[in-house]
Structure formats: structure tokens, C-alpha cells
Amino acid sequence: MKNDLNFVALGALVCAMFIWASSFIALKSAMVDIGPFSVIFLRMAFASLCFLYFIKGFFKYSFTKKDIYYIVLLGFFEPSLYFIFEAQALLYTSVSQAGMVTSLMPLLTALLAGAVLKEVITQKLIFGSLIAMIGVIWLSVNATTTVSAPNPVLGNFLEFCAMICGAGYTIVGKHLMRKFSALFITAIQAFIGFVFFLPFFVYELNTLEMNFTFNAMAWIAYLGVVVTLAGYGLYNYSLTKIDASKAAVFINLIPIFTIILAVLILKEELTQTQIIASSLILLGVFITQMKSKRRKKQ
């Protein structure tokens, strides 16, 4: 069992959450000029180009039929279905409301981890997750948003579907980490995403009017290189050191970082309510990471 705090892995998780929070702004900004699925495809294309340098080292692995099955399943959950749901969700709901829905992922992951990976679901994990979820809901409801939400009910439902896929991805990824490196897992995601979203890109290219502006392409390059390469790389690394159920709780940090980026980039004001709600989320995450005391058998 992994009882001791791994500060390197925890730091990697925090950095990954900050990077993923920035992806909401990047994705929204890029979709102003380019179709949603085209943005995802080009994002995966940039990421795949970065991983070509490492591809020679991936041939050292031997693959069984079961390995291939889990790799395909990983790609099916994320990036494939996950990004389909999230790209569509951001067309209908605001970033702050989407952030509220992400609070459900830790609980979904914890339940799946207990059922599939047989991880111990402690009272501290459940209690901390609930506190963090309350903080996220409070933060999202009171957050100032500058983007339109034409159909928030539909958008939030699509984001909820994305969270289900994200929970499935975390569980499958945790299983694959027993044999494959975090770098390989991150790379295979990019390659699968590139192939999967290619038909969507071709379709949008022939049906939508898109402007490949410098600003849009810069955001896409950021999504592909920083968010995909660094974000998923750090998260996958953390899964090699920390239980999946505990790692997923850090998803609750995304709304906090989103608010911070909104203040810095969009010049939004940070209210007292947002500060309190953010502190509540941090408290919940801290509780889930507390070392559990065990009674020694005499």
C-alpha cells in the first residue's frame, strides 16, 4: 500500500491541474475561429510530432493481446470520447459551470478504483472528496463568467459524460502504468487521438467556414505541446506513485486555477466568496492525502 506522501508526485499533479485549467481558456479561444473537432485534431497532430523523437524507444516494449486491448480502451475513453463530449460541452455551457461538473470525477474514479483496482476507499477519501466537491460547486456558482452559455443543461450533461470517460481513463491508465512508462502512455494517447479525429477534421474542413488565424493556431500549439505533452505526462507519472482514487481528487483544483487565470488574463475580480470556496477545495484535497493511522496487530 502507498501510505507515505510522495511530494514529487503531488507536485506533478498540481502542475498538471494548472496546465489542464489553462486548456479551458485555450480551447474556447481556438474554437472562435476553428471548428471544435478540428481544434482537437490539430492539437493531437502537434503532440504527435513532439513524440516522434521518442518513438524509437517505444519499440523496446513487448505487447500482448491484453496490452493492446487496454491501450485501445484507454484511447477510447480519452482522448476520443472525452474530447468529443468536452468540446461539445464548451459550446453550450460556461467554463465555470463545466468546472463545477468536474467535481464529480473524483467520486466516480474512487468508486471505479474500489471496484476494479481493489483500492481501499477510506472515510477520509470520501469525506475529503465531498468537502472539495462542495467547494467546487460553491466556487462555480459564484464565479464570474465572460462566456455565453446558450444551453447550460445540455452542456453540463455533456461535461458529465466527459467525466465518466475521464474516470475510466484513470483506471485503465493506472493498470497500464504497471508495465509501460508515463511517456509511452501519453504518446499513445496522442497517436490514437490523431487517427481518431482525422475524419472529423476532414468533415469540418469541407462543411464549416474556418479561419486558421495566428491566434487560433498559437492556442492549438499550446494545447498540443504544453497541455497534452506536459499535462498528461505529469498526470500519468503521478499515477505510477499515487493511487488512482487519490490522484483524481486533484481534479478539484482545476476550478481554482481557472479563476486565477481568469483574473490574470481576463482581468476578472476575485471575490471573497471565491477565495473561501477555493480554500474549502484545498482543505478537501489535503484531507484525502492525509496518512491513515493503522492499528498494529498484536
> Has residue 175 got a pLDDT over 90?
no
Whole-number Å distance between alpha carbons of 295 and 297 = 6
144-155 pLDDT, tens digit per residue, is 554 556 777 788
Q: What's the pLDDT score for residue 284?
A: 80
Beta-carbon contacts of residue 195 (< 8 Å; ≥ 6 apart): none
Q: What's the pLDDT score for residue 296?
A: 42
- 31-50 mean pLDDT: 93
- The distance of Cα 8 from the centroid of its chain, to the nearest Å, equals 19
Q: Where along the chain do its domains lie?
A: 7-288
Apex 89 CA angle, 112 and 226, nearest 5: 80
> Has residue 222 got a pLDDT over 90?
yes
> Has residue 295 got a pLDDT over 50?
no
DSSP alpha helix (H) spans, 52-151: 65-75, 82-92, 95-101, 104-112, 123-142
Closest CA to 92 of 129, 147, 11: 147
Q: What's the pLDDT score for residue 194?
A: 95
DSSP string, 36-78: HHHHHHHHHHHHHHHHGGGGGGGGG----HHHHHHHHHHHIII
Report the SS3 class of residue 28: helix
CB 101 within 8 A of CB 157: no
| H/E element, 249 | helix 244-249
Position of cell 452542456? 155
105-119 pLDDT, tens digit per residue, is 877 787 788 877 777
Q: At residue 63, what is the residue type? A: F
